[in-house]
Structure 1
Amino acid sequence: MTETPFRLTSLAHGGGCGCKLAPSVLQELLSGQAKGGPFERLLVGTETGDDAAVYDLDGTTTIIATTDFFMPMVDDPDHFGRIAATNAISDVYAMGGRPIMALAILGMPLGKIETDVVRAILQGGQAICAEAGIPVAGGHSIDCPEPVYGLAVIGTAPRDRIRRNADAKAGDALILTKALGVGVYSAAFKKEALSADAYDEMIATTTRLNKVGAELAKDAAVHAVTDVTGFGILGHGLEMARGSAKRLRISRGALPLLAHAEALVRQGFVTGASHRNWASYGAEVDLDAGTPEHWRHLLTDPQTSGGLLVSCAEAEAERLLGEIQAAGFAAARRIGVVEEGAPRVTVEA
């Protein structure tokens, strides 16, 4: 662990994927954007809020492009770099692709952070890129009031392996590959209330690459995939519901949680993003009448470097779940089903 003479998180007003603009704000910003023209080879753009852009090169091979960056949610600069890089690369895996290179995005408040701290952030990101088997081939840096780090990532995939968030089918089973509660943990960490074992648990999940997404895309039984990040399981589930024109029904009791998440949220450790998320899309969500208030916060909790939400054929769900768990995602669980109906998310006990 790299020691700093100050808390890195003290230089940022928010951290991790909790920094994202609220879903409603993002929709408003994008709604009035004029299109530059018809691009027949652009297979995935902004229409469905998917994880990355996809461009068809030659009818067989596609290029996947994404970018993701945020402010620190932890104080250790190496851990910050690793989390941010893992989170950015995840978008390529969520589309069914494999990354081929990355470019660093760096904004640092000059005069407030020592050079060796910034170097440790970059080295953390480099270490994760090496684990993914890709180079950091360049990047861009600016003087910025708050520390910001992330990556632009390029990947490839055969066209028939692209998995959008908009192709869920009625009757599908839903699988979530990582436990929820990262935002709750980060809120507790900022107030110095997160135990050492919980911190280790948070670092382990947020630095686990979602490589399994590229493997799942080889399977015809996998119909739709998205990664669960700043909008929480409800927000990203709703994007899948809207894009697929289907209803998602989620079992609250089936959702995997980090070990201390429920206890911490009961104590009041909730991010501002959780409240913004619910204000943005709560009208399109049906919660069971008996849902406790703390569970609403867990359902909207922003996940930094979260897991994949997978919509797959019901008959193959148990096999796929076993393969996901065997790939290192022990927390993966079946969490619900896809149904015909107006695009909404229904949560039951």
Structure 2
Amino acid sequence: MMGKIACANVLSDLYAMGVTECDNMLMLLGVSTKMTEKERDVVIPLIMRGFKDSALEAGKTCTTVTGGQTVVNPWCTIGGVATTVCQPNEYIVPDNAVVGDVLVLTKPLGTQVAVNAHQWLDQPERWNRIKLVVSEEDVRKAYHRAMDSMARLNRIASRLMHKYNAHGATDITGFGLLGHAQTLASHQKNEVSFVIHNLPVIAKMAAVAKACGNMFQLLQGHSAETSGGLLICLPREQAAAYCKDIEKQEGYQAWIIGIVEKGNRTARIIDKPRVIEVPAKE
């Protein structure tokens, strides 16, 4: 699963540009010095297999990982590089948002919270902070939803950007929703700003984040996501159809979370955003 998530995350840099075909991938692997030889021989091939399986899922033009680099360090890490050669009509430059566009998000937030909460099931001092707002079953469901979400490719979301005339997009990863929204806003040709009103969050994870004080800053848009969804600027009249189409093709929801208005190329989340509880997929 770790390999699948890493590969999906790498490919999202292409998908955010509307590029749906990958020509070549490299794998960057860090083998932990803390692993025993037996652990290494079991774990590392599994991680590599997950990465390769995800690359295969990305399409016929990206069935092989052609190289990369392996290092030894204290941590077990994996990443990669995805490259492609394409025509101008095959990519969408992320700088054409106009006043009146809406913002669509294609995966729920809260992956960092879900993974941490799952780790805390075995840490009584941590678990005691959140057990009043969430059950062990809730945490396990949220964890599996997070794994499923992070491993899912943004390929269909990217392909539909062309169909519904997207004006630009970015993928949501380590800098959180607001960090990536601000970066996207800062690169717009027009004098616009993004205002986010809705936050789709994996079920119960907003309550967990709140119970931890401001540790995650989830509702402020600063909680890190890994292999998150695409944040897309779409014409208002096309957005609902986009969301309906992606749900029809993938079986997963996308959400209209904000608007593009006249402004100075910044992004913000309103003081009391509406939290949309996204149920775990059974």
TM band (smaller chain): 0.7 to 0.9
| CA separation of 1:269 and 1:153: change in aligned 2, threshold 3 A | farther
CA RMSD of aligned residues (A): 2.0
Question: Secondary structure at 1:123's aligned position in 2?
Answer: helix
| CA separation of 1:103 and 1:126: change in aligned 2, threshold 3 A | same
| CA separation of 1:259 and 1:312: change in aligned 2, threshold 3 A | same
Measure how far apart 1:149 and its partner are: 0.5
Q: Which of 251, 255, 265 is residue 333 of structure 1 equivalent to?
A: 255
Partner of 2:277: none
Partner of 2:117: 188
Partner of 1:61: none
Question: Secondary structure at 1:167's aligned position in 2?
Answer: coil
Matched, 1:320 2:242: yes
Following superposition of structure 1 onto structure 2, how do residues 75-224 of structure 1 map, counting pairs within 5 Å? 79-97=1-19, 98-110=21-33, 112=35, 113-133=39-59, 134=62, 135-192=64-121, 195-219=139-163, 221-224=165-168
Question: What TM-score do you get using the length of structure 1 for normalisation?
Answer: 0.66
Deviation sequence 1:34-71 (CA, Å, 0-9, x none): xxxxxxxxxxxxxxxxxxxxxxxxxxxxxxxxxxxxxx
Point out the more displaced range, 325-334 or 206-215.
325-334
Partner of 2:200: 256
Measure how far apart 1:320 and its partner are: 1.6
Unpaired segments of 5 or more residues in structure 1? 1-78, 276-293
- What CA distance in whole angstroms lies between the structure 1 residues aligned with 2:239 and 2:157? 15
- What CA distance in whole angstroms lies between the structure 2 residues aligned with 1:331 and 1:270? 28
Measure how far apart 1:305 and its partner are: 0.6
Percent identity reads: 29
- What CA distance in whole angstroms lies between the structure 1 residues aligned with 2:140 and 2:31? 28
Measure how far apart 1:269 and its partner are: 8.0
Matched, 1:229 2:192: no
Unpaired segments of 5 or more residues in structure 2? 122-126, 128-135, 274-282
| CA separation of 1:178 and 1:111: change in aligned 2, threshold 3 A | closer
- What CA distance in whole angstroms lies between the structure 2 residues aligned with 1:302 and 1:210? 18
Partner of 2:230: 308
Following superposition of structure 1 onto structure 2, how do residues 35-46 of structure 1 map, counting pairs within 5 Å? none
Partner of 1:37: none
| CA separation of 1:268 and 1:311: change in aligned 2, threshold 3 A | same
- What CA distance in whole angstroms lies between the structure 1 residues aligned with 2:154 and 2:175? 18
| CA separation of 1:232 and 1:238: change in aligned 2, threshold 3 A | same
Deviation sequence 1:275-313 (CA, Å, 0-9, x none): 6xxxxxxxxxxxxxxxxxx622xx211110100001011
Contact 1:85 1:125 in 2 (8 A): yes
What is the total number of aligned residue pairs between the two structures?
Answer: 247
- What CA distance in whole angstroms lies between the structure 2 residues aligned with 1:264 and 1:111? 32
Q: AA paired with 2:250?
A: G
Pick 1 or 2: higher relative contact order, CA cutoff 8 A, min separation 6. Answer: 2
Contact 1:162 1:217 in 2 (8 A): no
Contact 1:222 1:311 in 2 (8 A): yes
